[in-house]
A and B are shown apart, each in its own frame.
Chain A
Amino acid sequence: MYWDKEIETMPRDQLEELQLKRLKETLEQASKAPFYKKLGLEDYEVKTLDDIEKLPFTTKEDLREAYPYGMVSVDRQNLVRLHSSSGTTGTPTVVFHTIKDIDSWAELVARCLYMVGVRKGDVFQNMIGYGLFTGGLGLHYGAERVGCLTIPSGPGNTKRQLKFLKDFDVNVVHVIPSYALYLADAAENMGIEPSKDLPNFRIALIGAEPHSEETRKKIEDFFSIDAYNSYGLSEMNGPGVAFECSEKTGMHIWEDAYLVEIVDPHTLSHVKPGETGELVLTTLTREGMPVIRYRTKDLTSIISSTCACGRTHRRITRISGRSDDMLIVKGVNIFPVQVEAVLLGTPGVRRNYQIILESRGHNDHMVVRVELDPGMFAGDMKGLENLKKKLTRDLRDELLITPEIELCEPGSLPVSEGKAVRVIDKREE
């Protein structure tokens, strides 16, 4: 049931004691890095966990500024690994690991895998990018630690993915949710029947891009498996920061390794317990590159109630958006993932979409462009008008503003990839 029972079920008071001890060690270690030395980190005094609020934040811009080696807090010859985030503009952000860091990262990932039922002897196909991106190697090391036969297939080459799934009797996959949906379509086209051809396929670990509960349901239903949401970011190692347990009610965040805060993105002070805000994390075990109060830009809230699985580490809710991809339209906060959720629940349209924001007079105007599903086209205008009406109504209920729907020909919108540009903001300043 538990990979590391003592840690995973540690009573809260002991866990917090451990956190305080590790926070003090981390601050001492971090103070050796040029970036934190310049910030005068060693002058801050921390006596209780609440004192974390006195410490300065670290942002992605800080990491860029410290490029290349400014965040490193050990002798460089002790570093064994460098990863870089998938940032598309400007200087990349890099993260360094010592051999001990790699070991504790693998341990956290193994904990996650064991939690969702992955066991020694399982065949694990890792369909996530290897290389600088942390998703591939992060899960790879964890899966090997559990004792899985690990297939580093990486993404793409869909026919071979499906062939391997079938021929090697794969039990567990790690996959980006949009690719899992694509894989389901491809399997259907190739005549693969999950119940017959993939009888021992049990688990999909889905993460690395925001997705809705509907997406999870679609993946689970098509393959007859359980899909578990995973959360991580390269600045905090990568995958393995937080993971769902079999209850599927929020992701346990490993509090022996990360100190969790939720702050209001504008005021930067702590939100009330249970309220949504920006997740801020401090590493508690990393030696090569400790990071203090890192602003993840991911929006979530903490579930403090105890979980039926017995783990004492608190859960965070599904990431509801990013404080930097939040759109403000007519004064209302809107996240693209909300639009995705409505589209997935609407027969007749595909999941590709585009949001266009315009100014009309002094008002914001939102257009949602969506592709018609060719299989559902009955040939009449009435059906299309009804579809438009239904989408308008459902989106208004979800977003609280009324968008204009534009039905487009299938295949005419940019293809869905992890970071597809879905929002075009033409509004005047």
Chain B
Amino acid sequence: MAHQLSLFVENKPGKLDRILDIFMDMGMDVKAFTIASSDKFGIIKLLVDKPFKAREMLKQSGFTVALTEVVVVEISGIPAGLKDITGFFLSRDINIDNALGFSFDKDGRALVIIESEAIPEVKDLLVENNFRVLSDEQIYAL
């Protein structure tokens, strides 16, 4: 399973800047990131090429960090391609906890990063039903 870093940080300037310093020092590639805040604190999520190594480095620097499992799917476009997934999830009563989706070429092809409670099963189901699920190697080589 592919893993994403999740960091608990106080909602203050300079936090992401420090994380990026650490990544640049160790030559870590970031494939995607999001920041979500709730008043006084926030969660920074990062999809990187070496998540376990990154977690150790961040912990040593005093960050509160967890790894969560994600599944990444390539779709033909948004909304049409994405609707295939949401319709499929609806029929199976699967809930999406967090997601990040973006279109990356002129034909509208897009990638969706999905977090859900039952990630391994969700990934298997998507593969069985011929969705284009990226392998861990493909994700880390993006």
Interface residues of A (CB under 8 A from B): 372, 374, 377-382, 384-385, 406-412
A379 touches B38 (CB 8 A): no
| Chain A: CB-nearest residue to B41 | A407
Interface residue B139 (Cβ < 8 Å from any Cβ of A): no
Query: With A and B bound together, what is the CA distance between A406 and B6 in angstroms?
Result: 19
Q: Is the C-beta of B43 less than 8 angstroms from some C-beta in chain A?
A: yes
Which of B8, B36, B43, B68 neighbours the largest number of chain A CB atoms within 10 Å of its CB? B8
Q: Which of B10, B38, B40 contacts A381 (CB 8 A)?
A: B38
Q: Is B134 an interface residue (CB 8 A)?
A: no
Question: A381-B38, A406-B40 are contacts. A412–B67 as well, Cβ < 8 Å?
Answer: no
Residue-wise, chain B 4-20 has the 8 Å CB interface mask toward A (1 for contact) of 00101110000000000
Residue-wise, chain B 36-50 has the 8 Å CB interface mask toward A (1 for contact) of 101011010100000
In the complex, 15 of the A-B residue pairs with CB atoms within 8 angstroms, ordered by the A residue number, are: A377-B64, A379-B45, A379-B66, A380-B97, A381-B36, A381-B38, A382-B97, A384-B43, A385-B38, A408-B10, A409-B8, A409-B62, A409-B64, A410-B62, A411-B62
Most chain-A CB neighbours within 10 Å: which of B59, B64, B66? B64
Instruction: Determine the chain A residues whose CB is within 8 A of the CB of B40 once the complex forms.
Output: 406-408
**In the complex, what distance in Å separates the CA atom of A381 from the CA atom of B98?**
10
Q: How far is the CA of A321 from the CA of B43 in the complex (A)?
A: 37
Tell whether, in the assembled complex, residue A384 and residue B8 are in contact, meaning their CB atoms are under 8 Å apart. Answer: yes
Chain B min CB distance to A429 (Å): 27
Taking CB atoms, residues of chain B closer than 8 Å to A381 are 36, 38, 43
- Nearest to A412 among chain B residues (CB) is B10
Given A385-B38, A407-B41, A410-B64, decide whether A377 and B10 contact each other with a Cβ distance below 8 A. no
Closest-by-CB residue of A relative to B40 is A406
CB-nearest residue of chain B relative to A382? B97
B41 adjacent to A384 (CB under 8 Å): yes
Give the distance to chain A from B95, nearest Cβ to Cβ, in Å. 11
Q: Count contacts between A and B, CB distance < 8 Å.
A: 51
Pick the most buried of A377, A382, A410: most chain B CB atoms within 10 A of its CB: A377
Q: What 6 A-B pairs are tightest by C-beta distance, nearest first?
A: A379-B6, A379-B66, A374-B64, A379-B68, A406-B40, A377-B66
Complex CA–CA separation, A377 to B44 (angstroms) = 13
A380 near B6: Cβ-Cβ < 8 Å: yes
Min CB distance A404 to B, Å, is 9
A218 to chain B, nearest CB (A): 22
Residues of chain A with a CB closer than 8 A to B45's CB? 379
Q: Which residues of the other chain, B, contact A372 by a CB distance below 8 angstroms?
A: 8, 64
Instruction: Kindly state the separation between the CA atoms of A382 and B117 in the bound complex, as whole angstroms.
Output: 12
- Cβ–Cβ < 8 Å partners of A412 in chain B: 10
Query: Which residues from chain A contact B41 at a C-beta distance below 8 Å?
Result: 384, 406-408
Q: How distant is the Cα of A379 from the Cα of B9 in the complex, in angstroms?
A: 11
**Smallest CB-CB separation from A367: which chain B residue?**
B40
| A244 CB to nearest chain B CB (Å) | 38
Chain A residues with CB under 8 Å of B64's CB are: 372, 374, 377, 409-410
Contact A379 B43 (CB under 8 A): yes
Give the residue of A379, A384, A409, A410 whose beta carbon is less than 8 angstroms from that of B67. A379
What residues on A are CB-neighbors of B10 within 8 Å?
A: 408-409, 412
Complexed CA–CA distance, A411 and B64 (Å): 10
